[in-house]
Amino acid sequence: MTIRPLPLFAAGLFALLLAGCNPNYNWRDYASPDAPYRVMFPAKPASFTREIDLDGMRVAMTMTAAEVDGATFAVGTGVAPDAARAQAALAAMRTALARNIGAGTAASPDAGSGADIDVRGMRKDMPVRLVGHFATQGTRFYQVVVIGPVDGVPAEQLEQFFTSFSPR
């Protein structure tokens, strides 16, 4: 059997092109075992739960996050006592996240009831960008955020993460 060099070369070229795609982003489907949502993370995520205070409402919030190239991709979720307080939690989360990096809480131009944000600030003396989507479903509230270097997360990676989020 004779090996033809052209198909072998083409296969090698194809492998190099695939490797040229950002190898740091290893997207994987994640279905939360604790809350009703699915999302694609760019690396293997880890989860933790802790008590937080959202404008006087103490709730257990579970964060699941993965980090790639200094950017953190995270989904946080909790349950409020009622739907109205879940909705109020969205504003409290937006404000707290923006305050943590010294940014304003300007909503994106197409802000709906979730009022997504895209703000810049500082973290550990480095300029950062925080992009967030906030939503409720009944008494459950969600924050879907990416925080990292100002120009460090390509737009297509942001889109992949945010469009993959789906409450079940």
Taking only the tens place, the pLDDT of each residue in 23-63 is 689 999 999 998 999 999 999 999 999 999 999 999 999 99
Domain with 101 in it: what CATH number? Answer: 3.40.1000
CA distance 158 to 131: 8
The answer to whether residue 5 sits within a structural domain is no
For residue 104, give the nearest of 125, 127, 121, 126 by alpha carbon: 121
Q: How confident is the model at residue 114 (pLDDT cuts 50, 70, 90)?
A: low
With 80 as the cut, is the pLDDT of residue 144 above it? yes
The per-residue pLDDT for range 7-22, each reduced to its tens digit, is: 443 333 333 333 345 5
The string of DSSP codes covering 81-106 is SSHHHHHHHHHHHHHHHHHHTT---P
Token duo for residue 140: 């459950």
Given a cut of 50, whether residue 81 has pLDDT beyond it is yes
pLDDT class for 115, splitting at 50, 70, 90? low
Residue 79 clears pLDDT 50, i.e. is over it? yes
Residue 11 lies in a domain: no
In which domain, by residue range, is 156 found? 24-167
By the 8 A CB rule, do 142 and 134 touch? yes
- Total domains in the fold of the chain: 1
Task: Classify residue 63: in a domain, yes or no.
Answer: yes
Rounded to two decimals, the pTM is 0.81
Residue 97: how many CB atoms within 10 A of its CB?
21
> 103: left (phi > 0), else alpha (psi -120 to 50), else beta?
beta
pLDDT (0 to 100) of residue 44: 97
135 in a structural domain? yes
What is the spatial distance between Cα 52 and Cα 68, in angstroms, rounded to a whole number? 26
Q: What is the pLDDT of residue 152?
A: 87
Residue 12 domain-assigned (yes or no): no
Assess if residue 6 is contained within a domain.
no
Q: What was the pLDDT predicted at 14?
A: 38
Mean pLDDT of all residues belonging to the chain: 84
- Establish if 111 belongs to a structural domain: yes
